[in-house]
Structure 1
Amino acid sequence: MSRPLVPGLLAENTTDELFLGPVVFRQLRALTEKRGRHSVDVAKTEIGECWTIKGTDQVAKAVLELAEDCHIICVHNDHNERSKAERVIDLLGEHGLRKPVIPLVPVRETEAWLLADPGPWDGLRGSDIAHLPGRPRDVEKLPDPKLVLDAVRPKNNRRPQADYFDYLGQNVDLDVLAQIPAYAGWVAETEKALEGLGYL
C-alpha cells in the first residue's frame, strides 16, 4: 500500500501556478521514486486560494487552509518579494503550524526558469531557441526574462502565453532545472522536509 503525499502551492499569479504546479508535482514524484523509503503516491499539486502578492497575513491564512489537506506547502515569490516567504513562514511558526513550508524563490522571476531547457522549445514549431542562454544556470543572470521569453516563443500562432507555462511545467527536464542554483536550493530544502516527514 502506498503512502499519500499531497503538495500545496501558493504563487504570485496564474502563469506561475501553471508552470510551478506541475514542476512541484513532478519533482516530488522524482525524489520519492529515487529515494523513497516506501511506495509514495504523489497527488497533483493543490493550488491555494490566494496569490502571494497579497499581504503577509492573507498569505499565511491561505497556507493554513492548504495545510488542512496538504503534507508540504511551497510559497513562491519573485525577487522583488523575496523576504515575504520568510515572513510568512515566521508567522506560521507563531500559529504553531508543524507542516513544512518551503520558499520557492527564483533569483529574478519564474519566467527565467522557463528558458533553462531548450528541449521543450525545440518541439514547438516557430520557437527561436537562439535567444536562450548557453547554460541553464545563466537564466538567472538575464536582466529581463520576460523579454527573452517573448523572443523565444512562437509568433506564428495565437496560443495565449499562459499555454506555454503549462506546457513547459509538464515537459521541462528536471535535471536541467537542477543546474539553476535557486532551483537546486529549493530541491535540497524539499528533500530535507521529506526526510523529516519520513518519506525519504
Structure 2
Amino acid sequence: MSRPLVPGLLAENTTDERFLGHVVHRQLRALTEKGSRHVVDVERTEIGDCWTIKDADRVGCAVLELAADCHLICVHNDHNERGKAEAVVKLLAGRGLTTPVIPLVPVRETEAWLLADRAVWAGLRGSDPDRLPARPRDVEKLQDPKPVLDAVRPQSGRRPLGDYFDYIGQNIDLEALAQVPAYAAWVAETEEALKGLGYL
C-alpha cells in the first residue's frame, strides 16, 4: 500500500510555477524513492492561488488554503523578496500551522536554475549551451540570468519562453541542479521535513 505525498507551491509568477512545480514534484520523488521504507505516491504539485509578490498576510492565507490539501508547502521568492518567505514561515508558525513550509529562494532569480544543466540545453536543437557557465554552481554568480537564458534558447522558430520553463523543469538533471548551493540548501531542508513527516 502506498502513502500519498502532496506538495504545494506558491511562486512569484506563472513561469516560476511552471518550472518549480515540475522540479518540486521530481525532487520529492527522487528523495522518497531513494530513502523511504514505504512506497510513496508523490502527487502533482498543487499550485496556490496567490503569487508571492503579494504581501505576507495574503501569501500566508494562500499557504493556509494549500495546507488543507498538502503535506508540505514550498514558498518561492527571488533574491529581492528574500525575507518574505521567512516572514511567511514565522507568521504561520505563530498561527499554529503544523504543515512544513519551506522557503525556496535562489541567490538571484529562478532563471539561473534553468541554466544549471548544459546537457538538457544541448538536447534542444538550435540552442547554444556554450553560453552557459562551465559549472552548474556558477549559474548563481550571474548578475542577470535572464539575458543568458534568452541567448541560450533556440533562436529560430522560437517558442514562448514559458515553454522552456516547462521543458527544463521536466527534464533538468536533478544532480546537476543540486550542485547549485541555494537549491542544495532547499533539498536539505526538504529532506529534514520529510523525515519529520515520517516519509524518510
Aligned-residue sequence identity (percent) comes to 76
Written as runs of structure 1 = structure 2, the 5 A alignment for 1:42-121 is 42-121=42-121
C-alpha distance in 2 between matches for 1:122 and 1:177? 16
Alignment of 1:22-37 (within 5 A): 22-37=22-37
TM score, norm. by length of structure 2: 0.99
1:184 is displaced (CA, Å) by 0.3
How far the C-alpha of 1:9 sits from its partner, in A, is: 0.2
* Residue matched to 1:157: 157
Tell me which residue corresponds to 2:122.
122
Q: Aligned-pair RMSD on alpha carbons?
A: 0.5
Q: How far off its partner does 1:158 sit? A: 3.2
Deviations 1:3-57 (A, max 9, x none): 0000000000000000000000000000000001211000000000000000000
Unpaired segments ≥5 residues, structure 2: none
Would you say the 8 A contact 1:37–1:198 is kept in 2? no
**Matched residue, 1:196:** 196
- What is the 5 A alignment of 1:2-41? 2-41=2-41
Instruction: After TM superposition, give the deviation of residue 118 of structure 1 in Å.
Output: 1.0
Between the aligned partners of 1:155 and 1:174, the Cα distance in structure 2 is: 26
How far the C-alpha of 1:133 sits from its partner, in A, is 0.2
Tell me how many residue pairs correspond in the alignment.
200
Q: Distance in 2 between matches of 1:35 and 1:61?
A: 32
Distance 1:179 1:129 in 2: 18
Report the equivalent of 2:187.
187
- Normalized against structure 1, the TM-score is what? 0.99
